[in-house]
Every structure is written in C-alpha cells, then in structure tokens.
Amino acid sequence: MNMKLWREILYPYEMAVDELVLKFNNIQREYRNAGEYSPIESVTGRVKKIASILEKGNRKNIEIEHLTEQLDDIAGIRIICQFVEDIYKVVEIIERRTDIEIIQYKDYISNQKLSGYRSYHVITRYPVQTREGQKKVKVEIQIRTLAMNFWAVIEHSMQYKYHEHIPEHIRERLSASSEAIIQLDNEMSLIRDEIMDAQNSIRQKDLIVGEILNLIHGLYRTANKREILKIQDEFYKVYKKNDIALLRTFLEELDAIAEGYRAQDAEGDL
Ligand code: 0O2
C-alpha cells in the first residue's frame, strides 16, 4: 500500500479523533460551566502512526488488507480522570451517547495486566461524514486516572527503549510501582469528597468573580466613574474575605444595580 492510499485510509480516523476530542472536551466544559465537578480531567487523541500500524499488524500476524477491521486502536482517545470512581462515570456517559456505538469493554482495572497496566478500554465504532458519505471507524477509548496514566506512560517508554524486552530488575520495579499506584488511587478515593468540594469551591469562586468583573465592565458604559470606583473598592474588600457566600451576595446586589442602569438606559433610548 502506498503512502497516498494510507493517507486516504487514515483520514476518517483523523476526523473521528478530532470530533471525539472536541465532544469530550465539551462534556467537561458543560460540567464546569454548571459549577459542577467534571469526571473528565483531560482528553487527548491520536491516530496511530503508519509504522506502528504495520508493526502491530506484523506482531499479530494480520494481513495488510485486514488491518483496519482487525486493529481496534488505529484511532485512540485517552480520557484522564482524577479518581477511579470517575472512570465508571465516564463509561456511563459513553453508554448514554447515541453517536457512539460500543463494541467491546476491556476492564484492565478489575483484571490488571501482568505488566501491571491498569486502564479501562471501550472499543467503539463512530460514524464520520466524508465526501464519499458516512464511514464508521473503530475508536479505542482509554479511560484511566492521572496516577494510572503516569505509570502507563513511564512503562510505555521503557517498552519502547527495550523493544518489549525490559530487563528483569526494571520489570520488578515497575511491578512494585504499579502496586503503589493502586494504593495512591485508593487513598485519593478516600478523600475524594473533600478534594471535590475544594475544587468545586475554586471553580464556583472563579465563575462568580468572572460574572462580577463582567458586570463592572458593563457599568463603564452607563454608570459614572465615581460610583464604579466605589463598587470596585467594595468588591476588593469582599474578595479579600475569601468567602463564597459574601461574593454571591455581592454579585446579586451588583446585578440589581446593573439592571437599574440597564432600565435607565432603555428609557433614555425611547
Ligand atoms: P500504543 O503505542 O499505545 O498505541 P489484544 O486485544 O490483546 O489482542 P491490543 O489491541 O494490543 O491486543 O489491545 P490491548 O492489550 O488492550 O492494548 C491496546 C492499547 O492499550 C495499547 O496499544 C497500549 O496503548 C495500551 N496498553 C495495553 N497494555 C499495555 C501495557 O502493558 N503497558 C502500557 N503502557 N500500555 C498498554 P499499543 O498498540 O500496544 O501501543
């Protein structure tokens, strides 16, 4: 198969990866805009390099013309979560979608690989609209915690360096550190509620402060400078108290003031 043909074959996979990264990022944004904790921490995607596709096909004895139907991970999405519990939430999110068809689940969390690898894989089929019409391509969605990802990235680089013949002493260390990763994930799950509360507060504060600054910015069109300066001073005082309830009250009061100016402005236009 020549390079041009490969590019054509891989194009729908690239479309699928681009679209799914965008869609999962939108899910994250939706949670955060609602001031809620997002089970998705970050999303990346990639299309496997041609050399890696050929190498994997060779390793698994797959004929070149059967590569796209038999390899599950030519298109890959990686979703990183903070906590193990979030992984199952993300799986539910995928299950509820009407645009993603699930083919297979690979639960390497309950069934950790011998290497120590842990991650939850969902093999899916995703439709893209090409100029020749709809094409459904296989996409492997890997869902793992930050800690699992840290281990997998390090171990993967060792596999790359030693071409899968990792020396025994390094393998032992990797195996021991995979146990430490399980412990770390378990410990984090125990204080998950507190961590989520803290992160929610930070996000809510950011949203409220953002709205306050927008309202103050809007006042520059209608209110007089002296009043705006007074409002800004008041805002700094409230901000320094680091109390979300006070900030929320300040936002409500400011909103009422801004609404008054907007009404005045509308009357002036009549
Ligand atoms: P790359 O370079 O990440 O793309 P199988 O289902 O067993 O017939 P397959 O298709 O290899 O074979 O499925 P599997 O085992 O679920 O692996 C799919 C991908 O998961 C791998 O792709 C890796 O990304 C990741 N993975 C699986 N096992 C390990 C592991 O032991 N260590 C690490 N670091 N990652 C793993 P590729 O093509 O192997 O690699």
Beta-strand ranges (E) seen in 97-172 are 101-107, 120-130, 133-145
What's the pLDDT band for 270 if we cut at 50, 70, 90? low
Task: Identify the structural domains of the chain with CATH numbers, from first to last.
Answer: 3-165 (3.30.460.10), 195-269 (no CATH)
Distance from C-alpha of 30 to C-alpha of 26, rounded to nearest angstrom:
6
Q: What is the mean pLDDT of residues 87-92?
A: 98
Residue 265 pLDDT greater than 90, yes or no: no
Catalytic member of 140, 172, 252, 253: 140
Distance from C-alpha of 248 to C-alpha of 27, rounded to nearest angstrom:
26
Q: CA distances (Å), 222 to each of 54, 60, 260, 261, in order?
A: 65, 70, 10, 6
Question: How far, in Å, from the CA of 156 to the mean position of ligand 1?
Answer: 9
Burial bucket for residue 219 (CB in 10 Å: 0-12, 13-18, 19+): buried
Distance from C-alpha of 104 to C-alpha of 112, rounded to nearest angstrom:
17
Residue 58 neighbours by CB under 8 Å, 6+ apart: none
Clarify whether 164 is annotated catalytic.
Answer: no
SS3 content of the chain, % helix, strand, coil (to 5): 65, 15, 20
Q: CA distances (Å), 34 to each of 37, 80, 108, in order?
A: 9, 20, 32
Q: CA distances (Å), 99 to each of 107, 111, 115, 204, in order?
A: 22, 28, 34, 31
Is 81:40 a contact under the CB 8 Å cutoff? yes
Q: Which residues are near ligand 1 (CB < 6 Å)? A: 48, 52, 56, 72-73, 106, 113, 115, 117, 121, 152, 155-156
Residue 3 pLDDT greater than 70, yes or no: no
What is the structure's pLDDT at 93? Answer: 98
Q: What is the mean pLDDT of residues 58-82?
A: 95
User: pTM for this one?
Assistant: 0.86
Residue with tokens 């899916």: 124
**What residues form DSSP beta bridges with 28?**
none
What is the structure's pLDDT at 160? Answer: 83
Distance from C-alpha of 31 to C-alpha of 90, rounded to nearest angstrom:
12
Pocket test for ligand 1, best of 48, 117, 157, 166 (most atoms within 8 A of CB): 117
Distance from C-alpha of 248 to C-alpha of 209, rounded to nearest angstrom:
9
Question: How far, in Å, from the CA of 164 to the mean position of ligand 1?
Answer: 12
Please give the number of the atom of ligand 1 that sits closest to the Cα of 152.
34
Question: How far, in Å, from the CA of 78 to the mean position of ligand 1?
Answer: 12
Q: What is the mean pLDDT of residues 90-95?
A: 98
pLDDT in tens, 192-245: 999 998 888 888 899 999 999 999 999 998 888 899 999 999 999 999 999 999
Distance from C-alpha of 192 to C-alpha of 200, rounded to nearest angstrom:
12
Q: What is the mean pLDDT of residues 251-263?
A: 92
12 Rama class: left (phi>0) / alpha (psi -120 to 50) / beta: alpha
| Cα–Cα nearest to 257, from 246, 230, 241, 237 | 230
What is the structure's pLDDT at 1? Answer: 61
Question: How far, in Å, from the CA of 144 to the mean position of ligand 1?
Answer: 13
Residue 3 neighbours by CB under 8 Å, 6+ apart: 50
